[in-house]
Amino acid sequence: MPSKKDLFEVSGPTHLTSIDWNCPNYQRSVAASLVQGVYVLERDRQKRRCGSEARAPSWYQHFNFKLSEILVDNKDKSIFGAIYEYNPPGPLSDFALHHGSANAPGFILAFRGTLLRKNSFIRDLKLDLGIVKNGLENTNRVQNGYQAVHNLVKTHGHQNIWVAGHSLGAAIAILVGKSMAKLNVFVKSFLFNPPYVAAPIERIKSAKIKNGIRLFHGFVKAGVVSVLRHGESSNDCFEMLASWVPQLYVNPADNICCEYIGYYERRKMMEDIGANNLEIIVAKNSVRDLVLNFSGNESEPLHSIPSAVLNVNQNHSSNIFSALMAHRIRQWWQPDLTLDSRDYRTVN
């Protein structure tokens, strides 16, 4: 018997029976479901489920998508991504008129995260460590993902393309989105539980203590950055990325992604006290990344995202079970989900 989490009719958003592409909740739920579809595609492959036994098709066919292409890691041959093509029934013009499909994506490129199965876990774990070491962007998953998006945009235009990813897959989507933004192409992106390598200060209950630590850390980091760079300007493309505004979905109980909350909150606090220029230095640099750069592994911080809509799951709790659930993709299509959404923009 397949796991319940593989069965769309058991674990999926079956409550979404009508299509409204103008609704952000629907967009989020579909994007998350198609990411889950990539997880199930890989589990189908490992369990040799095909034909009527395959469980992945339900995760995209329910929303009128078809599988256009799978992306395979050349190291372990695992499926890490998929390209889905929107395939509405009947003539598109009539369907769009009655179901709001004019704003539907033509294609969604989705990336899965780490899969805890013996045939994929070792490779996924190495890539997770690559996030810590700033080496993910040089891997075949990122390069293949970028090429797939580039080809789609070249053929169909960027307004027609969405990118989505969860955890490790969100990190891949960030790097792909940044690469496209540096070409002045801004792809609509959904980033679920994106990794942020830092101590989880957000888990501290006292807002006063959290804010104090963040401000202190910001000023200290600015000083360290100035010393390490010796007055040199940053080589990253922070300003170039400002027009790319991905949707970030984080859970405060998830240690892997919760510091995005602090990242944007600190920026707002420093702006409020008139330290805008100092905050830009802090936001586009990481002491850890600077140290890695000096060791010959030069790259910009993964979490350096100038503009974003930050969506925080308000349904979290502090018990152990909920903490374990806080990183799972399935939370993002629940019908009772409550989000605190804040728009953070950096003006060029």
Q: Express each pLDDT in 177-188 by its tens digit.
A: 999 999 999 999
Report domain extents, the chain: 4-192
Return d(Cα 141, Cα 127) in angstroms, integer: 9
Residue 38 confidence (pLDDT): 98
Which residue type sits at 14?
A: T
Instruction: Express each pLDDT in 251-263 by its tens digit.
Output: 999 999 999 998 8
- pLDDT bracket for residue 68 (50, 70, 90): very high
Confidence band of 93 (pLDDT split at 50, 70, 90): very low
Amino acid at 251: N
The pLDDT assigned to 301 comes to 81
For residue 164, is pLDDT > 90?
yes
Average pLDDT of the residues in 307-317: 90
The set of residues, in sequence order, having a beta carbon less than 8 Å from that of 165 and lying 6+ positions away, is: 35, 110, 111, 112, 113, 171, 172, 173, 174, 190, 191, 192, 194
Which segment, 7-21, 94-108, 198-212, 220-234, is predicted with the most confidence on average? 7-21
Higher pLDDT, 342 or 224: 342
Q: From CA 289, how far away is CA 300, in angstroms rounded? A: 7
- Residue 331's pLDDT band (boundaries 50, 70, 90)? very high
The pTM score is: 0.85
pLDDT above 70: residue 292:
no
Q: Which pLDDT score is estimated for 232?
A: 47
Q: How far apart are CA 274 and CA 31, in angstroms?
A: 38
Contact of 198 with 218, CB cutoff 8 Å: no
pLDDT of 3 reads 80
Average pLDDT of the segment spanning 332-347: 92
**Range 312-327 average pLDDT:** 77
pLDDT digits (tens, 9 = 90+) for 102-118: 688 999 999 999 998 88
Scan for tokens 């579809």, then name that residue: 37
* Confidence class for position 13, pLDDT limits 50, 70, 90: very high
> CA 144 to CA 210: how far, in whole Å?
39
pLDDT at residue number 316: 72
Three-state secondary-structure class, residue 164: strand
Query: How much is the pLDDT for 112?
Result: 98
pLDDT at 19 over 50: yes
DSSP 342: E
What pLDDT does residue 315 have?
A: 87
CB half-sphere exposure, 30, CA atoms < 13 A? 29
